[in-house]
Amino acid sequence: MGVPFGERRGVSGGAMWVHRSGGGPEVVFLAGGGMSGAYGWKVHEQVAAFGTAVSYDRLGLGWSDAAELPRSGAAVTDDLRELLQTVGVTGPVVLVGHSLGGLHARLYAKRFGAAGLVLLDPTHEDIVERLPEPEARRLRNLSPDDLPPAEQLEPMRERYRAAFGRVLSDWPDEIREPLLDRCFSTEGYRNSMLEPLNLPSVFEEARRAGPEPDVPTIFLSAMGADPVADELVPPEARRPPAESGRAKHQLYTDLAATLPRGALRRVDDAGHSDILWARPDAVADAVRDVLVRGSCPGR
């Protein structure tokens, strides 16, 4: 099935899917690791009511052309800069980054500038030092060689597609079904697993890129239950959301406090995976505050 909205535009590395709508200040959404920008369609529509919302798929994912994965942070942010220029976005933009997209958003802002940042449960290089040692060791040693073999990937793909199908059951069929078909095809799922497997090197890129930009920055910390994880993690292995999110929430608290125009907002009724579609209003409110007020109330 084809893409339900948007178009494909050419950049140096191939054609990239992009959806741009609304009018006024430009707001660019950077999806989480392995995810399509189409997962954020609800908040995209809300932001398009007061700004220009731009969603896209990185090369190798969604409806963008294939690319060798994982890719460096420099390559990802270079692609985005070229794509924005191609669609006529030339000034500073507000970047809204979810999970791995939050890491890419910060790297983009450090390299090319930004008007503001909204970071949704962002991946951050300093989280490694906040985690229990087994989990920290796994992150430090991530490698593309960690991709499971095909015989393991296929049943994983089927479980994840079924889980996302249930979580998104109230979405319009014309959006949900093409998205699931594309992202949970054999190739699409394999690529989604590959993309974050070079995190240690992207962490180093973020550290080397210099200080955080002095722009309005709002962290949204998702501290509620994660419906995707609840579908896929055995009950005996689950931890309460407050316990599993304690390290990241403290990290975001500390990071926001170091920024002249930083703020943290806790979201208790959404989890890491679903904050974009479970609480699009909270995301849109944060974007509006960065755009309209030029400051970050709510610390």
Per-residue confidence band for 299, with pLDDT thresholds at 50, 70 and 90: very low
Domain residue extents for the chain: 7-293
Q: Classify strands 14-22 and 52-56 as parallel, antiparallel or unpaired.
A: antiparallel
Which range has the top average pLDDT, 91-100, 123-132, 290-299? Answer: 91-100
Helix (H) or strand (E) holding 9: strand 7-11
Residue 92: the pLDDT is 92
Please give the structure tokens belonging to residue 12.
């140096």
Backbone angles phi, psi at 141, to 5 degrees: -105, 10
pLDDT band at 133 (very low <50, low <70, confident <90, very high): confident
Residues forming a β-bridge with 52 = 22, 26
Strands 7-11 and 14-22: antiparallel
Give the DSSP H/E element, type plus range, for residue 294: none
Measure CA of the first residue to CA of the last residue in the chain; give whole Å: 44
Tell which wins on pLDDT, 186 or 227. Answer: 186
The predicted-structure confidence for 248-275, as pLDDT tens digits, reads as follows 999 999 999 999 999 999 999 999 999 9
Q: Which residue has the tokens 């798929």?
A: 57
pTM attached to this predicted model: 0.94
Return d(Cα 156, Cα 164) in angstroms, integer. Answer: 12
Supply the mean pLDDT for the chain. 92
CA distance 296 to 18: 28
Tens digit of each residue's pLDDT (9 = 90 or more) over 18-53: 999 999 999 999 999 999 999 999 999 999 999 999
What are the tokens at 292?
């309209």
Task: Encode pLDDT of 5-15 as tens digits.
Answer: 999 999 999 99
pLDDT at 176: 95
Q: What is the pLDDT of residue 150?
A: 87
DSSP 97: E
- Contacts of residue 220, defined as CB under 8 A and 6 or more positions apart, other chains included, come to 118, 119, 120, 121, 265, 267, 275, 282, 283, 286
Q: Which CATH architecture has domain 7-293?
A: 3-Layer(aba) Sandwich (3.40)
Task: Report the C-alpha gap between 69 and 271 in whole angstroms.
Answer: 27
235 confidence band (pLDDT: 50, 70, 90): low
| Pairwise CA distance, residues 261 & 116, whole Å | 10
* Half-sphere exposure for 260 (CA within 13 Å, toward CB): 7
Q: Which helix (H) or strand (E) holds 6?
A: none
Q: How many Å apart are CA 32 and CA 44, to the nearest integer?
A: 15
